[in-house]
Amino acid sequence: MTTPSDTSVGTGFLDVGDLRDPPMPGHFTGTPVELEARLALRANGCVTVVIGGVERVPLWPDGTDVVEETTDPRRYVVSLPGGLRLTVDTGRADTFVARGVVDGSSRPFEVEPGLPTAISSFLAFCKIVAQPVAFPDAASFTVPKP
């Protein structure tokens, strides 16, 4: 799990690198497909995405940064490699299209039974029931024209 150096700017987030350390074989094995998503913000500070009406925890491309930009109102900025910035707050949320993979495995995100990983800990913190979604390629992100 990636966390900002200044803990006052957010609760952290996941990126696809979290699947490699420790290795999480069997997860996100499908072929990436184009997904339309809208950012969402939970009261606990988790920045999530809504795809087809289902809220999911995203694993952002490596090099992404998610920070709390303001606290009143709470506004978070997702900065992707290449310069694209997406924002979400209590009143509005950006929509984007990107190639992603919804995890098709129901196996827990753990290396040893009962030993949590950064991914399993973050999923438990965010309290999202649906399987997470991984966005491995920052270059696939676009923002639809209004």
* Whole-number Å distance between alpha carbons of 59 and 62: 9
The answer to whether residue 112 scores a pLDDT higher than 90 is: no
* Whole-number Å distance between alpha carbons of 80 and 128: 23
What local confidence, expressed as pLDDT, does residue 140 receive? Answer: 98
Q: Positive or negative, the Cα torsion across 11, 136, 37, 29?
A: negative
pLDDT-derived band at 57, boundaries 50, 70, 90:
very high
Average pLDDT over every residue of 46-70: 96
What local confidence, expressed as pLDDT, does residue 2 receive? Answer: 46
Q: Of 40, 51, 11, 20, give the one whose Cα is nearest residue 132.
A: 51
What is the domain count for the chain? Answer: 1
Q: Is residue 1 part of a domain?
A: no
| DSSP line for the chain | -B--SSGGG-S-BEEGGGGBTTB-TTSS-SPPEEEEEEEEE-TTS-EEEEETTEEE-EEEPTT-EEEEEEETTEEEEEE-TTS-EEEEESS-B-EEEEEEEE----S-SBSSTT-B-HHHHHHHHHT--SPPEE---GGG-B----
* Whole-number Å distance between alpha carbons of 124 and 128: 7
Q: Which of 9-23, 33-47, 61-75, 114-128 is modeled with the greatest confidence?
A: 33-47
Neighbours of 62 (CB within 10 A): 15
The answer to whether residue 3 scores a pLDDT higher than 50 is: no
Q: Is residue 29 part of a domain?
A: yes
What local confidence, expressed as pLDDT, does residue 7 receive? Answer: 37
Q: Is residue 32 part of a domain?
A: yes
Q: Domain span at residue 25?
A: 7-140
Q: Is residue 22 part of a domain?
A: yes
Average pLDDT over every residue of 117-126: 92
Structure tokens at 65: 């940064």
Question: How much is the mean pLDDT over the chain?
Answer: 90
What local confidence, expressed as pLDDT, does residue 111 receive? Answer: 84
Q: Is residue 2 part of a domain?
A: no
Q: Is residue 133 part of a domain?
A: yes
The model's pTM is 0.89
Q: Is residue 146 part of a domain?
A: no
What local confidence, expressed as pLDDT, does residue 8 receive? Answer: 34
